[in-house]
Amino acid sequence: MSHPLRIGLAGLGNVGAGVVRVLDANADLITRRAGRPISITAVSARDRQRERGLDLSRFIWVDDATELAGRDDVDIVVELIGGADGPALTLARRTLAAGKALITANKAMLAHHGLDLAAAAEAQGLALKYEAAVAGGIPVIKGLSEGMAANRIARVYGLLNGTCNYILTRMENERLDFGHVLAEAQAAGYAEADPSFDIDGIDTAHKLSVLAALAFGARIDFAAVATQGIRAVELADIDQAAALGFRIKLVGLAEASEGQLFQRVHPALVALDHPLAAAGGALNAVVAEGDFVGRLLFQGRGAGEGPTASAVVADIIDIARGSIGHAFGMPVAALTALPPADIARRRGRYYLRLTVADRPGVLAELTAALRDHGVSIESLIQRGLSADGDAMIVMVTHIAGEPQVLASLAQMAASDAVTGAPVMMHILDF
């Protein structure tokens, strides 16, 4: 059997500790599957004294994680530090410059610097692996790059953030408002003290930009991802969506057509019989549609110590077997710079919610705004008065152009009868 593959592990948070546990628990099986032993030789983390429930005395401790790249007793580096820049990026660049393969779970770094890192790996014939960066333990990266390699992919979309899915699921199941569930999620450790990256859709946008590059052979364009989070979703929206036969999810969607790339993260109404609607709690789910294979669904635990560590170790095994490949499915030079899709071409159905003063003629004023811009109504619900004497109007449109719907909303918002900011959500119709 070949000599051991020696790992330098940077980051000993939940995922890093999980990698140690997976390698310990399944050492024999992993060795047989990899064709050689795999061992961690050196580790680094910010807090050496933190209790992790692990025996770290068997590893060499390195205070500066970036020094792992230059160690003679390290063959490949696993970066689990996080952050788009800083020590993580320095370590990644030094690792590849030193002629060593890199494994990362860092979606932010990939979204901002993935192409440069992929080019550096390619120039030296090195592997850059990142299965754990998107959807945790779900093998969606391998699924797109290998399983669907023969297909032209029409679209890829799904639920890429477990925190948002957890919040929306609890709001629906327990009839709690957004702020209450978020506070409890933070107290339980499901959401960060500053949850902006999750609830404002940025984390999903990072992952989506990586999936889009892989699915469409496109250069990563994170800046072009239109991003909207779930802060504006109210319990009333969840109730009305349910009454209409939908469930609200934070969806990341990417499509490539006519030489353009459409990327958007937004709350959407998903029909109850759609595969994404069944993914509750902190689950992730990704749908990819290929021209020959059809629709594929990848679903499972998208975060947490076990699933994410499992994906990291799967990448280690790949490298032990000699798998290099291209980080984004093809050489960097073959990736196409696709311009952002023109929003004027977007058509679909929309959910609209407005809070209005309860007075004669208001409904006619609202429907006139839609009529003026050529938007027709499929259904309309009016709910009773609030403590302030306002009424809630919910409308679902027929298929319409997005610019026309936005223009209608702007006209409605200008009315003194509308007492709160109108809310628009997309309806997922595929």
The owner of tokens 């223009």 is 407
Q: Residues of 323-356 as b/e, b for ≥16 C-beta within 10 angstroms?
A: eebbbbbbebeebeebeebeeeebebbbbbbbbb
Q: Measure the CA–CA gap between 127 and 138, rounded to whole angstroms.
A: 20
If you write DSSP's letter for every residue of 352-420 in order, what string do you get?
EEEEEE--TTHHHHHHHHHHHTT--EEEEEEEEE-TTSEEEEEEEE-SEEHHHHHHHHHHHHTSTTB-S
Residue 226 has a CB neighbour count (10 Å cut-off) of 15
DSSP 8-state assignment for residue 296: E
Catalogue the E-assigned strands of 260-376: 260-271, 283-290, 294-301, 347-348, 350-357
How big is the chain, counted in residues? 430
Strand-pair category, 128-129 with 226-227: unpaired
Q: Measure the CA–CA gap between 363 and 174, rounded to whole angstroms.
A: 32
207 noted as active-site residue: yes
Residue 318 C-alpha from the chain's centroid: 23
The active-site residue, picked from 107, 129, 142, 207, is: 207
Cα separation values, 139 from 96, 206, 265, Å:
24, 17, 21
Task: Tell me if residue 344 falls in helix, strand or coil.
Answer: helix
Strand-pair category, 101-104 with 38-44: unpaired
Residue 99 has a CB neighbour count (10 Å cut-off) of 11
Enumerate the active-site residues.
Answer: 207
